[in-house]
Copies of this chain bind each other. A is one copy, B any other.
């Protein structure tokens, strides 16, 4: 069906053997110049296209990387887009696989040898996936989150420092009654950003009112609904809100807008990630910049090393973050 024409057909047309065709078309230097020319001509004439399936089986490699992403989290598109380009430069293709931090469904495609490596960006702290992949010797890198047992390479942001930086922004702006819309504690990003945030407040001697803290997923609706709750009049509302990521912050921001809560006048908001939209004038979100490009770059580098055969314990690359002051933090 696919490649009706095989290398055997080309071989016959060119009057050589199949192996010679294979070598010639892949540019092996051992084939005579004239022979190559003849083979190339024959291949062109026959409209020959090598079978990827056969090549994959024969070479034991597929030049394909799987990325496990959380499709609920808008962040994935940012990561995937750039990753695609990075991999394309290395002649790899990208296959998408959905994964939620909670559901531990292991896509069989990850173990069947249909891919050369995996990039995990949705793992929970106690995820079992990493261990499985490792046992099966599937080259794997953790992208944005890490797990408890540090057996795998990981490329992450300095979430703790970022959480602290975020708190500092609000403190510097004079806020004392600060709320927090946090991400899941079973993710390193959720946990560390929270830890950094709390630490900074504690260092400043500010007590965090737990009534102003909301746990939720890393998405728009968490921010949206939390603001509804915090401003329902049942308790005294915060003057500032730390959000564990920009999506949450956008949700908060928009709900505040709907409720007529002035930002940052009545409510300051800081996010985390520095998504593209954060810089839009209409939103102008103060946030913490996460260097996704750098993170992706080292993730890919480490993955390639693993594919090339590097062994040994996991390496953890932590990328620095920095605050970006725009309009929503007050001051």
Contacts of A310 in B (CB 8 A): none
The count of residues in chain A whose C-beta lies closer than 8 Å to any C-beta of chain B is 49
Are A60 and B1 neighbours in the complex by a CB distance under 8 Å? yes
Are A84 and B57 neighbours in the complex by a CB distance under 8 Å? no
Taken together as a complex, chains A and B put the C-alpha atoms of A114 and B93 apart, in Å, by: 11
Contacts of A173 in B (CB 8 A): none
Are B114 and A53 neighbours in the complex by a CB distance under 8 Å? yes
Taken together as a complex, chains A and B put the C-alpha atoms of A197 and B73 apart, in Å, by: 35
* Contact of A52 (CB < 8 Å), options: B71, B80, B114, B283: B114
In A52-90, the 8 Å CB interface with B consists of 52-57, 60, 62, 64, 71, 74, 76-77, 80-81, 84-85, 88
Shortest distance between the CB of A284 and any CB in chain B (Å):
9
Q: A49-B136, A52-B114 are in contact. Are A88 and B93 (CB under 8 A)?
A: no
Taken together as a complex, chains A and B put the C-alpha atoms of A254 and B56 apart, in Å, by: 48
Residues of A within 8 A of B (CB): 1-3, 49-57, 60, 62, 64, 71, 74, 76-77, 80-81, 84-85, 88, 93-98, 108-109, 111-114, 136-137, 250, 253-255, 257-258, 277, 280-283
